[in-house]
Amino acid sequence: MAEFLEYTLDKFTFKVATDRFYNPEGVWAKAEGNQVTVGVSDFFQQRNGDVAFAEVKDVGTAVAANDEFATIETIKVDVELPCPVSGTIAAVNEKLELEAEVINQDPYGEGWLAVIAAANWAADQANLMTPEVYFEHMKVQAQEEAENL
């Protein structure tokens, strides 16, 4: 499978990384064992604009799937992010404190938000979207967004 699925609408191209899972809000989860790295999708970052501030709950905080675990303040909106996985926050990307723009620059890489020590990744994964499903979901969101402009 290709590294990314790509969808172009007007002058925008949105990429969906194919090596992870997604919730409907555009938060991705990529597991290595029970350590699940989470971040936001390319569509999320393009839709919401340049990130001014990103704040993730402290390391050690217990989170449940769909609970808010981070907030992102962009030039357009303030967004509360639902966690795609249950567990305990094991690490937070320290770059976000001074270089929150890394979320825009590299949403699937250096712009990761946190690592969650998952309580039951298999169960959470079953509730998330595959890249293919999220790709179709994102296309609909992008089209709706374009129609509302």
Partner 1 sequence: MNEKIVIVPCSGIGKTYGTVSREAAYEVIEELRPESAQLVPLSMLVLGEENARAAVAASPAITIDGCKLACATKMVQESGGTIAQDFAVLDVFRRNRKLKPQGIAELNEGGQQLAHALAEEVAAVVDKLNGKVETGDEKLRSSAPCF
Residues of the shown chain interacting with partner 1 in the complex, contacts defined by CB under 8 A: 49-50, 52-53, 75, 100-101, 104
Q: Closer to partner 1 at the Cβ: 88 or 104?
A: 104
Residue 108: phi and psi, rounded to 5, are -95, 0
Q: Closer to partner 1 at the Cβ: 50 or 132?
A: 50
Provide the sign of the torsion angle of the four alpha carbons 92, 93, 94, 97, taken in this order: negative
Q: Closer to partner 1 at the Cβ: 37 or 93?
A: 93
- Least CB distance to partner 1 at residue 50 (A): 5
- Least CB distance to partner 1 at residue 70 (A): 17
- Least CB distance to partner 1 at residue 52 (A): 6
Give long-range contacts, CB 8 A cutoff, 24+ apart: 142-148: 142/7, 142/9, 142/12, 142/14, 142/43, 142/47, 143/9, 145/47, 146/9, 146/10
